[in-house]
A and B are shown apart, each in its own frame.
Chain A
Amino acid sequence: MTQTLTRPATVSPPPPVPPRRKKHRDPGRYLRLHLPLLLYLLFTLIPFYWMLVFALRPAGETALVPWPITFEHFDTVWNGIGFGLFFQNSLIIALGTLVVVTVFALMGGYALARFRFRGQRVFLLALLCTQFIPGAMLLIPLFVIFKSAGLLNSLTGLVIADTAFQLPLALILMSGFVRNVPVELEEAAMVDGCSRLRAFFAVTLPQLRPALVAVGSFAFIGAWNNFLFALMFASKQDKFTLPVGLSYALGEFNTDFGALAAGGVVAAVPVVLVFAVVQRFLVQGLSAGAVKG
């Protein structure tokens, strides 16, 4: 196996650990590397495949390879059960959360990375502590707040709730990314007469593009996947999100498995695609010490 010619150089950075084995074949390597990888891939992919099969084969059949495929289940869930609307609601909430979380995280992350101010330690401590406060445990008071603020059954309300719970971690991550951009660049621009704001937009922001992609995507995925808030705060069917719609598809006993699978595919495709794109940024960002702040 020639390990030096595996990928075009543009796809990802050079492997940090150069291959220790050179040219000779090593049968132990298959046992140590390929076999466990294959087993794990099976464990990961069989459930996905199972869902696809159910989604694409006509009801009542049991073939493991569905052929001819049918889109009847997608028609059922999208038009019949209303997943089209749920999809739209989920998308609005996820995009809204993405924008708000990213902007606020950028502001706060910049403040943490570039300023020393009174109360900074307390603020950071509070951010870290939020990682231990589960939304599920706060359902009761949150419900009361949402009710008195008139935010029940409102997509805006869900954006606010998702933002509040995702912002702390996003902000910590973002401050790590900002810290990795050399402050000297910004200072040089300011010496040249830029205001701090101009310097930020002209010098630092372009460098933060991968950070924006990573933080934004996680906000999107988190909001897209949120279940309990949507279940609790949006009980009217026209405000259902995909996870809530799915949970009702699950709840009915003797489920229509084809419809459940098709609904699952609808819910899975956007996040799995987003994740496939940003997965690389995630590992790099964490590697660069973004979470060690």
Chain B
Amino acid sequence: MRTRTWAPYALIAPTLVLMAVFLVYPIASVGWFSLRQHTVTQPWKNGFIGFENFRRMLFEDQLFWQSLAFSAKWVVVEVGLQLVLGLVLALIVNETFVGRALARSLVFSPWAVSGVLTTGIWILLYNPSTGIFQQLAQWGIGDPGTSVLGDPATVFPATVVTELWRGVPFFAILLLADLQTIPNDLYEAASVDGAGRWRRFVSVTLPHLRDAIVLSTLLRAVWEFNNVDLIYTLTGGGPANQTTTLPLYVARKAVDSHDFGYGSALTMAGFVILLFFSILYLRLSKFGSRA
């Protein structure tokens, strides 16, 4: 129905207004702030300083590069593991077995839990005095008093496992939804042709899931890049800034030191990286190819 009425515009108007005020304008103002010295606590120094913030960021700020490197490591490890485990989980709960509906509800449930709550739960589990490692030590496994979050050698894997707990269900849900659209005839035909289980997985399942895998991986990569809640509350970026991601660094600049100008310059760096991913995503999702 091609219409020349005002109806569709009226219907999308609230969304447009909200997006303009809370997404478009803030992005523009980040650009403006990034060229200024703007600190809430020292307003008398505020003013236009050109690219000074960027110079400081690129050439003087060790923590910027360190947080960028950690962000990359975080995204690659986290998304890779979530994809593999999520795919395995989706394949499992796509089978028919007694109690499948309950099993799905249970294994997917961490998806609904917030980052802060995830932190709370895992702090209880990880704490050195009454946590799970203390319990295991009582049974003779490992050493008592192990503090996985305090030890630089274990803080990364401990954080990764915590986010996996919450992140794997996302992949499992998306991939399960796609698994259910594979026509059963394909499997039957493959079986008739003598394909074993592994062969059916490689020749039928994986090609069918390809698009879903690509898109969910990219979406998740962006979300994990932006993940702040969990790391902020679990490690606070520590010990010694070891687990500081770029968005966490931005958030701390904003929340703790109120250095809005410099924080905005850091944000611009993040935007450039996200822009790259957006373009990749839009190309891969074949945006606009739908009739």
Give chain A's interface residues, CB within 8 Å of chain B. Answer: 1, 3, 6-7, 11-12, 15-20, 33-34, 36-37, 40-41, 43-48, 50-51, 54, 62, 64, 104, 107-108, 110-112, 114-117, 120-121, 123-126, 128-134, 136-145, 160-161, 163-165, 167-168, 171, 183, 196, 221, 224-228, 231-232, 243-244, 246-247, 249-250, 255, 257, 260-261, 263-264, 267-268, 271-272, 274-276, 279-280, 282-287, 289, 291, 293
Contact = CB atoms under 8 A, between A and B. Distances in A.
5 contacts: A19-B96, A47-B165, A128-B287, A167-B19, A267-B117
Contact of B127 (A104, A143, A257, A264): A257
Contact of A164 (B19, B109, B255): B19
A6 B98 CA distance: 5
B12 interface: yes
Contacts of B93: 37
Given A33-B97, A46-B132, A246 B117 contact: yes
A232 B255 contact: yes
B167 interface: no
B88 interface: yes
Given A125-B287, A283-B177, A275 B250 contact: no
Instruction: Name the 4 nearest CB pairs between A and B, nearest first.
Output: A225-B114, A286-B177, A134-B226, A275-B112
Contacts of A275: 105, 108-109, 111-112
B107 interface: yes
Contact of B30 (A41, A126, A138, A183): A138
B124 A260 contact: yes
B1 interface: yes
Given A107-B12, A125-B288, A134-B274, 15 more contacts: A40-B89, A47-B121, A47-B165, A115-B2, A137-B267, A137-B270, A139-B254, A142-B26, A145-B25, A225-B114, A228-B251, A257-B130, A268-B113, A276-B109, A286-B174
Given A139-B251, A257-B124, A228 B100 contact: no
Given A160-B22, A225-B114, A286-B173, A115 B3 contact: yes
B115 A225 contact: yes
Interface of B: 1-3, 7-9, 11-12, 14-16, 18-19, 21-23, 25-27, 29-30, 33, 85, 88-89, 92-101, 103-117, 119-125, 127, 130, 132, 135, 165, 173-174, 176-178, 180-181, 184, 187, 191, 219, 222, 225-226, 228-229, 232-233, 247, 250-251, 254-255, 260, 263-264, 267, 270-271, 274-275, 277-278, 281-282, 285, 287-288, 290
Contacts of A271: 112-114
- Dominant SS at the B interface? helix
A220 to B, nearest CB: 10
Given A111-B8, A145-B25, A247-B116, A137 B95 contact: no
A226 B103 CA distance: 27
Contacts, number: 301
A43 B180 contact: no
Contacts of B233: 227, 247, 250
B2 A250 contact: no
Query: Taking chain A's interface residues, is the majority helix, strand, or loop, or is none over half, making it mixed?
Result: helix
A111 B12 contact: yes
Given A47-B165, A268-B113, A140 B125 contact: no
A115 B15 contact: no
Contact of B250 (A139, A284, A289): A139
B254 A232 contact: yes
A192 B136 CA distance: 72
Contacts of A36: 88, 92
A145 B18 CA distance: 13
A108 B15 contact: yes
Nearest to B116: A243
Contacts of A7: 100-101
Instruction: Select the residue from B105, B106, B260 with max chain A CB neighbours within 10 A.
Output: B106
A275 B180 CA distance: 20
A112 B8 CA distance: 8
Contacts of B21: 145, 164
Given A138-B23, A167-B15, A249-B120, A33 B95 contact: yes
